Copies of this chain bind each other. A is one copy, B any other.
Amino acid sequence: MLGLMQNQPLLISSLIDFAERHHGDVEIVSRRVEGDIHRYSWRQVAERSRQVANALDGMNLLFSDRVATLAWNGYRHLEIYFGVSGSGRVLHTINPRLHPEQIAWIANHAEDQVLCFDMTFLPLVQAIHARCPGIRRYVALCDADKLPADSGVPNLVSYEAWIAPQSTEYQWPSFDENSASSMCYTSGTTGNPRAALYSHRSTILHAYAAALPDVMCLSARDSVLPVVPMFHVNAWGIPYSAALTGAKLVLPGPALDGKSVYELLEAEKVNYAAGVPTVWQMLLGHMKPNKLRFSTLKRTVIGGSACPPAMIDAFREEYGVEVLHAWGMTEMSPLGTLCTLKNKHLSLPADEQMKIRLKQGRAIFGVDMKTVGGDGKELPWDGKTPGDLYVKGPWVVREYFKDEGGDPLVPDEHGVGWFPTGDVATIDADGYMQITDRSKDVIKSGGEWISTIDIENIAVAHPAVAMAACIGMKHPKWDERPIVAVVKKPGAQLTKEELLKFYEGKIAKWQIPDDVVFVESIPLGATGKMLKTRLREMLKDYHLPTAS
């Protein structure tokens, strides 16, 4: 039928064009690796991202060639985001918390041609460059005079020397919106790391969705601090959504301790921040003894892992900050659900509202979700039947980079493919999803499933507990029984019996762990999640107390 709408592809370059044209003077503030504060605006992000594009053109990088980063949240990283993807190359953000051998493996698998890194990570680059022959150019994110003379890293240039000769003029190319824009490897639990490969289309759709009032609620009146790293699923898409809305960005660099984050929140009048629970724990840990208050912070989105109820309470009641649970995955760009209340919830008493806030939230339009049982059939949305959580949507992976691991999707009765998240969850009648476990962590006791997350949340609510991890142990009668490994707070006293007593009345009797094991520390992965596989190894000689 003749006569339709303009065929304009959804491209990341249009985000930075828009931010420059409509919000050119809005500030981007960064704490640099050196510790000082850098301050400029979207106009300069745009100009310098075009210099990056020209530098890549000068290297004769082809369309879809990969450019990697090992970098904190900072303005140069932001310029690379737009310069690389905007010019048609693929931005590969590497998690610097991985082991050097994993990083080398990933860089080779991605066929990275350029690696841009913060000086913090020079030792890492020194450790891997010999194993990464494909990397043609190393770019240190610093001024020319900060570059060490004898680093041993070949083809090394400072970022400023690299882009200085380049023009700030660049005509962003137009191409198919389904072209790859960026990639992120997931650690995975078995086999090699796999990469989710995002497209320009998925990134723009996600950026619209992430800015919605019921998601991050971003506007040109916001000052936004992403504590979540730009090397971790594109900082939940905040750099893109900030450009889309003209928000001010405050980038904390490597200083994620409570004092540094607090000072930045206050100095830059931040009203919205996003990150994982551990960083907020450090922030509250700094504020409480120093009797500090927030002047401008109003909302925070917490994801990565569930936020302990006590922390939500502290933010809301002591500091007047709204805490919103988010849930997502690397394979989902990453946002899947946000836990904002509905109109009908506004008149509920506070404790009823709290029950909702503890869930992972409602699906954002674009993401479809369902839970399925062992037979693959969809389960009811009753808020209590746990099942494997499946998702689909235009910002959910179709398959991993280079088809690693084969086709991950599971078709439904109409032949439509769904991505199995590996999480076990319930969904209630209002569409609020709650993760009860990772599929691999769930404890099956006497035919019933026990949520390790519930058990951990109760433990960390005890004033003497710093950290807790629940795992299942083989049991002759019940198949599996839960035990909880606990790290005590420094100087705190706690006995096994006291903690087990603490569980009483909080969960069903049969769900209470059979034992408490006190440990020095619980192993954490590169994204701060507890590594239960390693905890299991640590406890391989452990035996359950006499079966009850």
Q: Who on chain B is nearest to A418 by CB?
A: B6
| Complex interface bits, A14-48 against B, C-beta within 8 A gives 1, otherwise 0 | 11001001110110000000000000000000000
Chain A 321-360 against B: per-residue CB contact (8 Å), 1 yes, 0 no? 0000000000001000000111110100000000000000
A199 to B392, CA, bound (A): 22
Do the beta carbons of B394 and A214 come within 8 Å of each other? Answer: no
Select which of B220, B404, B414, B430 is within 8 A of A171 by beta carbon.
B414
User: How far, in angstroms, from A15 to B366 measured CA to CA in the complex?
Assistant: 9
Residues in B whose Cβ lies below 8 Å from that of A8: 392-394
Q: Does A402 contact B (CB under 8 A)?
A: yes
| CB of A80 within 8 Å of the partner chain | no
List residues of chain B with CB within 8 A of the CB of A362.
22, 220
Is residue A222 within 8 Å, beta carbon to beta carbon, of the partner chain?
yes
Partner of A6, one of B7, B219, B417: B417
Q: Is A478 an interface residue (CB 8 A)?
A: no
Is A214 in contact with B220, judged by CB distance below 8 angstroms? Answer: yes
A219, A244, A397: most-surrounded residue (chain B CB, <10 A): A219
Interface check A400, CB cutoff 8 A? yes
In this complex, how many residues of chain A approach chain B with their Cβ under 8 Å: the count is 76
Query: Shortest 3 CB-CB distances between A and B: which pairs?
Result: A3-B401, A22-B431, A213-B219
29 contacts between A and B (CB under 8 A): A1-B64, A1-B401, A2-B403, A3-B195, A3-B197, A3-B397, A3-B399, A3-B401, A3-B402, A4-B197, A4-B199, A4-B397, A5-B201, A5-B202, A6-B394, A6-B396, A6-B397, A6-B419, A7-B178, A7-B398, A8-B393, A8-B394, A10-B394, A14-B365, A22-B362, A25-B344, A25-B430, A211-B213, A212-B245
A residues apposed to B, CB below 8 Å? 1-8, 10, 14-15, 18, 21-23, 25-26, 64, 90, 171, 178, 180, 195-199, 201-202, 205, 208-209, 211-214, 217-223, 244-246, 248, 333, 340-344, 346, 362-363, 365, 368, 392-404, 414, 417, 419, 430-431
